[in-house]
Amino acid sequence: MATTNPMADTSSAPARSAGSLLVLLPDLQQPQFEALLANLAVSVPADEVLIAAPEGVQHDLYPAFRFVAAPPTKSAWTLTAADFANAHQIAANNNLRAILMLGRECDSLNSSSLRDLANSVLSAPIDLAVPRYDLPPRAGLVNSSVLYPLSRALFATRVRFPLAIDLGLSLRMAERLAGVAHRFVALNQGEAPLWPVSEATVAGMTIEEVDVAERKFPQPAEPDLSTILPFVTGSLFSDIDSKAAFWQRARVTPPSHNRLLAGPSSPSDVAAEVASMIQSFRLAYSNLLDIWGLILPPNSLLGLKRLSQLDGAAFRMPDHLWARIVFDFLVAYRLRSMNRGHLLGALIPLYLAWVASHMNIIASGANPERHVEAVAAAFEADKAYLVARWRWPDRFNP
């Protein structure tokens, strides 16, 4: 994307001008706040920015910026429905044209990343700017295994991080997300995440990925896989269910932009970690097979039986098997085949099996990003299976 600043030639306009940018900040400690302001000061013209920051931080070191109070952040590790509702309200009240929403630890974003995110949505016709983070090979695996492949297969988008913690929004994109957010807030679910990429796709709005450098990421208050995976996956499954009329139609995913893929990880010893995950999978295979049998068809159960007989570095889960497992769990979630909490809990050992397989693959010297892309391609190739199961679930009952 172009790196020129579309605001560079503007006059010293007040924060209420139509060309201004709202920057919505999370709760930050004073040193983090000052570091973020320092990066913003060299990223965008200060007189074109309104910063919404929670109370408790001192901002008099940067008098060139204009400030407004923002409600406290609802979540420690992701953007929430309440955040989107607040962002749109502040932007609309101040007649602002675009919004930059930043998550916790945003002080680790460098000035060029902030500039590019802001410029994307200040330069029509981009409605949604989503970062493409530079993560270590073993980080963000829930995203790599479930969120990205599902979003790509069903919404024909190559956005690598559909639940990004930083976003650039046009005002009309913010308005659409606020409409969704208000429904959650009305149900006292203000901490629920939203899915901006699927919303933008359904609405026919324009999306742009912005490459950003490495970033620190906040950790959930309860960094436990048994909490995180059901929470995030259940939210995405619900969003997919609500948009079924859209994604069942055939669509073509745009071609890759041929970005440089992440290099192979160092061949470090992962044997102990992989062995622990394989053991968890095997224990679940012994104890949860009856439950999995209510969700998965015979071919998938046969694939899991074969998988349970592998060990060590030879442990590999076929990409097509993982795609069908996720699709079958999505269908069972829609049909409420069992309690949804129990359903998503039964997915955890299968996810651990995928992670063990992925770690074995990259430990062998393979490019981790190429494997993630292969997984996403398997989801795309099997979309017809999901559509058929969605429309005629009884035909596939085990």
- Output the pLDDT for position 266: 47
Q: Is the pLDDT of residue 121 over 70?
A: yes
Q: pLDDT by residue (tens digit) across 131-150?
A: 999 988 888 999 999 999 99
pLDDT band at 396 (very low <50, low <70, confident <90, very high): low
- Segment 274-278 long-range contacts (CB within 8 Å, at least 24 positions apart): 274/312, 274/313, 274/315, 274/356, 274/359, 274/360, 274/363, 275/312, 277/352, 277/353, 277/355, 277/356, 277/359, 278/310, 278/311, 278/312, 278/315, 278/353, 278/356
pLDDT, average across residues 103-128: 92
Q: Is the pLDDT of residue 17 over 50?
A: no
Q: Give me 218's structure tokens.
A: 């906040």
Rounded to the nearest integer, the mean pLDDT of the chain is 89
Q: pLDDT by residue (tens digit) across 76-86?
A: 789 999 999 99
The residue to which tokens 């269910």 are assigned? 241
Q: pLDDT by residue (tens digit) across 318-367?
A: 999 999 999 999 999 999 989 999 999 999 999 999 999 999 999 999 99
- Output the pLDDT for position 123: 79
pLDDT, average across residues 255-268: 57
pLDDT band at 192 (very low <50, low <70, confident <90, very high): very high
Q: Is the CB of residue 171 less than 8 Å from the CB of residue 213?
A: no
* Residue 50, helix vs strand vs coil: strand
- Output the pLDDT for position 129: 97
Q: Most distant CA pair in the chain: distance in Å?
A: 69
pLDDT band at 36 (very low <50, low <70, confident <90, very high): very high
- Output the pLDDT for position 1: 38
According to CATH, the topology of domain 21-222 is Spore Coat Polysaccharide Biosynthesis Protein SpsA; Chain A (3.90.550)
Specify the domain boundaries for CATH 3.90.550 within the chain. Answer: 21-222
pLDDT band at 4 (very low <50, low <70, confident <90, very high): very low
- Output the pLDDT for position 178: 98
- How many Å apart are CA 162 and CA 255, to the nearest integer? 17
Q: pLDDT by residue (tens digit) across 51-73?
A: 999 888 888 878 889 999 998 88
pLDDT, average across residues 355-383: 95
- Output the pLDDT for position 262: 53
- Output the pLDDT for position 7: 30
The letter for the amino acid at 312 is G
- Output the pLDDT for position 97: 93
Range of weakest confidence among 244-248, 261-265, 276-280, 296-300: 261-265
- How many Å apart are CA 342 and CA 232, to the nearest integer? 15
pLDDT, average across residues 223-252: 94
Q: Is the pLDDT of residue 374 over 70?
A: yes
